[in-house]
C-alpha cells in the first residue's frame, strides 16, 4: 500500500497524469493466490494490465501467463528469449495459454512454431487451428453461468455443454489433442456458486468424454473472475478459495492439472492514479472539476469495465458533492457526477486507488491527450 504522502510526492516529482504501480502489492497478490489455492497453476491474464514491468515481476515470482494476442505473447516471450531452444519450448508449453477462443489465421500461423496451448469454442475454430497451427494443443472453453459477475462474458464465449464432447471428439478425429476444459465465470464475480456449477459441469463432461472413449484430457482451467477487494462488500479471497478447493478435491483426481487465469485479482489494487485539477466551475450549483485524466485514459475502466474509482483529494476541508470531468471535449468523459471533495483549486492534485485492472490497458490517445505516464515503485 502506498501512502497518501508518497503518492503526492510522486505526482509532484514526475508530473501528472501519473499511473503508479506498486510491485510489492503484485507480489503479495500472487503469493496470496498461491497460498490459498496451492493446487492451482496461476496464469496471469496479461490483458488486465500488459505493462512489461508487471509481467516481468510476475515472471520472476514463477507465474504462468494467459495471453490473448500476439503482442501479449511477445511481452511474455521477451522474458524467455535467452533460454536454450528446448527449455524455452518446454516453458511455453507449461506456462503459456493462448486463451482467446477466436484467433486470426495470421496469429495461428505465427503461433504454430511455439506449439502452444490454445482455447477454442466452436467447430469452425477447430478447423482453422488444424489448418494453420496443427502443432497446438487445444482446450475447450465452455459456456457457464456468469450470474452475479460485474462483467459478463458468457454471451460471447463458450461452447454449449450439450455439444462439448462432440467438439472434443472432432478435435481428436482431426489429430488435435484436447488437453482439457476451461471456463470463465465472469469478471469480478460475487457469486461463488458460479465456480461450483462450472466445476461440476467440467467433471460431468470429463466423464462423458471418457464414456465415449476419449481419455486424453488432463487439465481443467478455472479461468478468471476472482474478485479484487475494491470495497468491504467483496468477500475475502480465502472464502472463495475454500469453496474451490473443496470442489476440486471432490471432483478431480490429483493427476488432473488445475489452471487459473486471474487478471484483475493480481493487478487491481496494485496501481494508483495521480492527476491534477486543470479547471473548475460551478455547474447547476455543483462544484465541478476538470482533471487531466479521464475515461479515455486511466479511467477507461468506467466505460469498458463497468468499474468505479472514487476520486480523492490530498487536501483536507469540508466536503461537498462535486463533479469530476476528464480533459477531453467529449461529454462522455465524466469520471464522477458525485464525489465528496473539499474545495479544490487549479493545480491541486487528486488520486484514485485500486485502478490497476482494465484501466491503463485500455487508455487511448483521444483528443491528443496521451496515456498517463507510468511509474513503478518497489520493483
Ligand atoms: C479468457 C480470459 N481469461 C482470464 C480473464 C481475466 O479475468 P479476470 O480479470 O476477471 O480475472 C479474462 C478477462 O476477460 C478472459 O477473457
- In angstroms, the CA 228 to CA 226 distance is 7
Contact criterion met (CB below 8 Å) for 164 and 181: yes
180 lines ligand 1 (CB under 6 A): no
Give residue-wise pLDDT tens across range 127-176. 999 999 999 999 999 999 888 889 888 889 999 999 999 999 999 999 99
Bridge-based pairing state of the strands 18-22 and 96-98:
unpaired
Give residue-wise pLDDT tens across range 14-70. 999 999 999 999 999 999 999 999 999 999 999 999 999 999 999 999 999 999 999
Give residue-wise pLDDT tens across range 304-336. 999 999 999 999 999 999 999 999 999 999 999
Q: What is the pLDDT of residue 299?
A: 98
Is 329 a residue of the active site? Answer: yes
Contacts of 277 (CB under 8 A, 6+ apart): 289, 290, 291, 344, 345, 346, 347, 348, 349, 350
Would you call 327 helix, strand, or coil by DSSP?
coil
226 lines ligand 1 (CB under 6 A): yes
Q: What is the pLDDT of residue 155?
A: 87
66 lines ligand 1 (CB under 6 A): yes
User: Residue 152 Cα, ligand 1 centroid: separation in angstroms?
Assistant: 10
Q: Is 175 exposed, middle or buried (0-12, 13-18, 19+ CB in 10 A)?
A: exposed
Query: Which atom number of ligand 1 is nearest to the Cα of residue 261?
Result: 4
Give residue-wise pLDDT tens across range 191-249. 999 999 999 999 999 999 999 999 999 999 999 999 999 999 999 999 999 999 999 99
Give residue-wise pLDDT tens across range 348-371. 999 999 999 999 999 999 999 999
Residue ID of nearest Cα to ligand 1 atom 14: 187
261 lines ligand 1 (CB under 6 A): yes
Stretch (H or E) spanning 7: helix 4-14
pTM: 0.97
Q: Measuring CA to CA, which residue among 172, 126, 120, 125 is closest to residue 143?
A: 120
Q: Measuring CA to CA, which residue among 87, 86, 112, 118 is closest to residue 100?
A: 118
Distances (CA, A) of 96 to 76, 80, 270: 9, 12, 23
* Mean pLDDT of the chain, nearest integer: 97
187 lines ligand 1 (CB under 6 A): yes
- Domains of the chain: residue spans and CATH: 4-19+271-377 (2.40.37.10), 23-267 (3.20.20.10)
Q: For the chain, give the number of residues.
A: 379
Contact criterion met (CB below 8 Å) for 222 and 3: no
Residue ID of nearest Cα to ligand 1 atom 1: 99
Query: Which atom number of ligand 1 is nearest to the Cα of residue 266?
Result: 11
Cell numbers describing residue 308: 468505479
What count of other Cβ atoms lies within 10 Å of the Cβ of residue 60? 11
Best residue among 119, 223, 301 to mutate for probing ligand 1, ranked by most atoms within 8 Å of CB: 223
Q: What is the pLDDT of residue 152?
A: 87
Which residue among 178, 202, 307, 329 is the active-site one?
329
Query: Which atom number of ligand 1 is nearest to the Cα of residue 265?
Result: 11
User: Residue 134 Cα, ligand 1 centroid: separation in angstroms?
Assistant: 25
Query: Which atom number of ligand 1 is nearest to the Cα of residue 186?
Result: 10
Distances (CA, A) of 65 to 11, 49, 116: 31, 12, 12
Amino acid at each position: 500500500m502506498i501512502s497518501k504522502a508518497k503518492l503526492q510526492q510522486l505526482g509532484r516529482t514526475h508530473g501528472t497524469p501519473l499511473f503508479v504501480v506498486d510491485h510489492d502489492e503484485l507480489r503479495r497478490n500472487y503469493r496470496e493466490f498461491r497460498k490459498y489455492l496451492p493446487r492451482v497453476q496461476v496464469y496471469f491474464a496479461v490483458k488486465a494490465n500488459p505493462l512489461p514491468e508487471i509481467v516481468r515481476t510476475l515472471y520472476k515470482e514463477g507465474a504462468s501467463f494467459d495471453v490473448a494476442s500476439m503482442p501479449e505473447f511477445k511481452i511474455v516471450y521477451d522474458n524467455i528469449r535467452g533460454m536454450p531452444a528446448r527449455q524455452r519450448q518446454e516453458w511455453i508449453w507449461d506456462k503459456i495459454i493462448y486463451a482467446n477462443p477466436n484467433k486470426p489465421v495470421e496469429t495461428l500461423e505465427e503461433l504454430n512454431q511455439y506449439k502452444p496451448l490454445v482455447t477454442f469454442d466452436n467447430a469452425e475454430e477447430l478447423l482453422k487451428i488444424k489448418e494453420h497451427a496443427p502443432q497446438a494443443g487445444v482446450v475447450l472453453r465452455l459456456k457457464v453461468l456468469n450470474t452475479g459477475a460485474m462483467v459478463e462474458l458468457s454471451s460471447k464465449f463458450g461452447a454449449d455443454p450439450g455439444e462439448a464432447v462432440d467438439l472434443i471428439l472432432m478435435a481428436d478425429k482431426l489429430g488435435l489433442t484436447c488437453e482439457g476444459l476451461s471456463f470463465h465465470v465472469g469478471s469480478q464475480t460475487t457469486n461463488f456458486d458460479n465456480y461450483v456449477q462450472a466445476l461440476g459441469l467440467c467433471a460431468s463432461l470429463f466423464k462423458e468424454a471418457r464414456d465415449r472413449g476419449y481419455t486424453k484430457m488432463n487439465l481443467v482451467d478455472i479461468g478468471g473472475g476472482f474478485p479484487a477487494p475494491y470495497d468491504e462488500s467483496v468477500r475475502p479471497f480465502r472464502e472463495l478459495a475454500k469453496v474451490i478447493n473443496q470442489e476440486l478435491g471432490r471432483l478431480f483426481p490429483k493427476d488432473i492439472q488445475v489452471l487459473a487465469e486471474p487478471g484483475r485479482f493480481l493487478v487491481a489494487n496494485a496501481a494508483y492514479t495521480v492527476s491534477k485539477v486543470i479547471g473548475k466551475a460551478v455547474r447547476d450549483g455543483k462544484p465541478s472539476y476538470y482533471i487531466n485524466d479521464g475515461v479515455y485514459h486511466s479511467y477507461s475502466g468506467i466505460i469498458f469495465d463497468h468499474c468505479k474509482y472514487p476520486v480523492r483529494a490530498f487536501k483536507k476541508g469540508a466536503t461537498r458533492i462535486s463533479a469530476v470531468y476528464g480533459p477531453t471535449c467529449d461529454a462522455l468523459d465524466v469520471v464522477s457526477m458525485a464525489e465528496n471533495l473539499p474545495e479544490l483549486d487549479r493545480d491541486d492534485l487528486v488520486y484514485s486507488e485500486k485502478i490497476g485492472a482494465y484501466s491503463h490497458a485500455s487508455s487511448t490517445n483521444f483528443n491528443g491527450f496521451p496515456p498517463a505516464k507510468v511509474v513503478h515503485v518497489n520493483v
